[in-house]
Structure 1
Amino acid sequence: MKEITVKRLKEMMDKGEDFQLIDVREDFEYEMSNLGGKLIPLGGILIEAEQIAKDKPVVVHCRSGKRSAAAISQLEQQFGFTNLYNLQGGILAWAEEIDPTIQVY
């Protein structure tokens, strides 16, 4: 599984690179704090797979990286995605390394 660091994600955002950000946490988690990605909770990731780009990099994240890794595994196995990147450490790593003001739980 391909992974990306929070520092690299921040760089991609700052440069305005063309990619999609998917958040696989639950609604209440997203409302508490998010990185501006599209919310598709893990439980619905296969049903909503058509909303995920196949023609550009897609960074998938959750709280710590476990659910996003599960989502990527499912998408790669079921639909053959090859452009998915797991955000190492998830939003916890983002809060620690990039933005300490973001609310974590």
Structure 2
Amino acid sequence: MKEISAKEVEQKLAKGEKVNIIDVREADEVTAGKIPGAFHIPLGLIEFKLNELDKFKEYIMVCRSGGRSGRATQFLEEQGYKAVNMAGGMLDWEGKIE
């Protein structure tokens, strides 16, 4: 499973790179703040939202600490999607939140 650090994601955003971030935390966690531009799809709904994802794009998966996003990353890879887990999750995130 590919991983990326929170700092690397922050640097990509600062450079203006187009990144596709999916936050798999629960709704109450996301209301406390998420990475700007991140899509919110709770982990339990990922399999039902596959038709909304593009197999030609790479997705950076985010959760609180990296565990749930790791499971989401593995699931997406098994379905033929390109996914990367943000290691450390939002606990390691030091950038802006919305």
**TM-score normalised according to structure 2 size:** 0.89
* Cα separation, partners in 2 of 1:56 and 1:18, compared to 1, 3 Å: farther
Tell me, which stretches of 5 or more residues in structure 2 are unaligned? none
Tell me, which stretches of 5 or more residues in structure 1 are unaligned? none
Q: Contact 1:20/1:53 (CA < 8 Å) preserved in 2?
A: no
Give the aligned residue type for 1:3.
Answer: E
Alignment-derived partner of residue 41 in structure 1: 42
Alignment-derived partner of residue 26 in structure 1: 26
* Cα-Cα RMSD: 1.6
Q: Contact 2:55/2:80 (CA < 8 Å) preserved in 1?
A: no
Alignment-derived partner of residue 92 in structure 1: 91
Residue 21 of structure 1 aligns to a residue whose secondary structure is: strand
Q: Give aligned-pair identity as a percent.
A: 39
Alignment-derived partner of residue 63 in structure 2: 62
**CA distance in structure 1 between the partners assigned to 2:62 and 2:47 by the alignment:** 16
Count of aligned residue pairs for this structure pair: 96
**CA distance in structure 2 between the partners assigned to 1:66 and 1:8 by the alignment:** 18
**TM-score normalised according to structure 1 size:** 0.83
Deviation at 1:28, TM superposition (A): 0.6
- Aligned structure 1 segments of 4 or more residues deviating by more than 6 angstroms: none
**CA distance in structure 1 between the partners assigned to 2:84 and 2:28 by the alignment:** 24
Flag the structure with higher strand content. Answer: 2
**CA distance in structure 1 between the partners assigned to 2:49 and 2:2 by the alignment:** 21
Flag the structure with higher helix content. Answer: 1
Deviation at 1:60, TM superposition (A): 0.4
**CA distance in structure 1 between the partners assigned to 2:89 and 2:40 by the alignment:** 14
